[in-house]
Amino acid sequence: MNYTTKQLIDRIEHFAVSDWDISNQILYKMCEEYPSNKDHQAILAKTLIIGRTYAASIERRKVKNTIEDVQPVATIINDDFYVNHVVPIFQGLDLDQYISEIKNWGNIPLVSLSDEQITKVLTLHKILSGAFEKETGLQKRSFASKYLHFHLPRIYFIYDSRAYAALNLVLKEVKPQGKRIVKTDQADQEYASFFMKCLRVLDYYKTVDENLPITARQLDNLLIEIANQSLRIGK
């Protein structure tokens, strides 16, 4: 059955679960059991499995203004790229310290985060998304959001172009009051815009029913369904 965007928005409680819950739970559990971003095997497993599962493979590179699923460097096979490039880059980022600081913020509503906290959340995303630009020619914006989401599921929203398009459709329907702006040069501006728009949607649901706790995962499920619905009806 097809629903309008507004009908899907109004059915937000239904998006607490999805057909992909077991798949996602496996990824959450992997990050819980192997939280280290220093251990080379943990890095290899998490980057490969999350990237491939969520169509954000880290080895994708920019070649002559196109994006190709090929070797990151012509003379480097994918296994060597992960072992010799991805692992050292992760080990040099000190992600575990950032994640440890941010993790407890998931115990409060996202809309209640202070500007300083949001800045740190966005800074960590930028650190990870920009870390591979030299190797691939791309900001790994989508990969970073997905990788961080599975480590900090109550903090990070999953970004990709389809989710952003769906989010803009949601905002056209709900028109939440106010527009919170956090000014920082420490963020990837595309993801920062997406993140703040997601907070506006969560704030909208809070005004509708303050006892209706909408999570980042619920919102992601909603955005996926809106994007899929647009494909089904050919928009």
Beta bridge mates, 73 = 76
In a domain, 9, yes or no: no
- pLDDT confidence tier of residue 164, bands split at 50, 70 and 90: very high
Chain segment 68-93, per-residue pLDDT in tens: 444 444 445 678 889 988 999 999 99
Whether pLDDT at 63 is above 70: no
In a domain, 6, yes or no: no
Look at the chain and report how many structural domains it folds into.
1
In a domain, 12, yes or no: no
Distance CA 148, CA 141 (A): 11
Chain segment 95-121, per-residue pLDDT in tens: 999 999 999 998 888 888 999 999 999
In a domain, 168, yes or no: yes
Residue 137 DSSP symbol: S
Chain segment 127-143, per-residue pLDDT in tens: 999 998 877 888 899 99
Residue 145 DSSP symbol: H
Alpha-carbon distances, residue 159 vs 60, 88, 94, 119, 198 (angstroms): 17, 25, 22, 17, 10
Distance CA 196, CA 115 (A): 11
In a domain, 169, yes or no: yes
